[in-house]
Chains A and B, each alone.
Chain A
Amino acid sequence: EAAVTQSPRSKVAVTGGKVTLSCHQTNNHDYMYWYRQDTGHGLRLIHYSYVADSTEKGDIPDGYKASRPSQENFSLILELASLSQTAVYFCASRDWGTEQFFGPGTRLTVL
């Protein structure tokens, strides 16, 4: 069973503060993804990566940075958190020919 873990599971941040969300996978997957989910909506892609030390912009990258220091780890960074970034964030990983495996999510509240 593929394993994707996220930390923290929930976080409260202040407007203008820096937030880092972490994702770790033990699947040896090349691809990793960050999505956000807003209440009543589907997931939207923020950033993704297909190899360590490289990241790509997804559909809604503004206000977010990503970092892939190793194959196993993929971080999402909010340099200046804003109220509009309150959401649930999901990480996923995938290998060639497989579907995406999702982590349990991080609930971020920006006050």
Chain B
Amino acid sequence: AQSVTQPDARVTVSEGASLQLRCKYSYFGTPYLFWYVQYPRQGLQLLLKYYPGDPVVQGVNGFEAEFSKSNSSFHLRKASVHWSDWAVYFCAVRSNYNVLYFGSGTKLTVEP
């Protein structure tokens, strides 16, 4: 069965520092993977998506993610974090029936 694990419930970084949020997936076959961001009291917004092809995908606001089949990972990265990136980030895998399975989320705090 498909599943997603985000091992870090909370991550704190300083503004301007680089960021990596970890995501491990379990899926039989080639996965379609997503990162969503949830700002306070708002719905989820798509940051980026991976469809089979180039393992590094670019998203909005300077985010990128790298797919690794050997590590079953899809980590999210950003070179320089801004205070407006303070949010909860969810990794998700899409099933054969086009249903999304989400990880438990990583809450990002940005320190000045």
Contacts and interface: CB of A to CB of B under 8 A. Distances in A.
Given A94-B98, A99-B34, A99-B49, A40 B43 contact: no
13 contacts: A33-B99, A33-B100, A42-B105, A43-B44, A43-B90, A43-B100, A43-B102, A44-B102, A45-B100, A90-B43, A100-B46, A100-B100, A105-B41
A48 interface: yes
Contact of A103 (B36, B43, B92, B104): B43
B43 A105 contact: yes
A43 B45 CA distance: 13
Given A40-B9, A42-B105, A99-B49, A104 B100 contact: no
A105 B41 CA distance: 8
A67 to B, nearest CB: 19
Interface size class of A (residues with CB under 8 A): 20 to 34
A61 interface: no
B99 A58 contact: yes
B99 A48 contact: yes
Nearest to B90: A42
Contacts of A74: none
B19 to A, nearest CB: 20
B43 A104 contact: yes
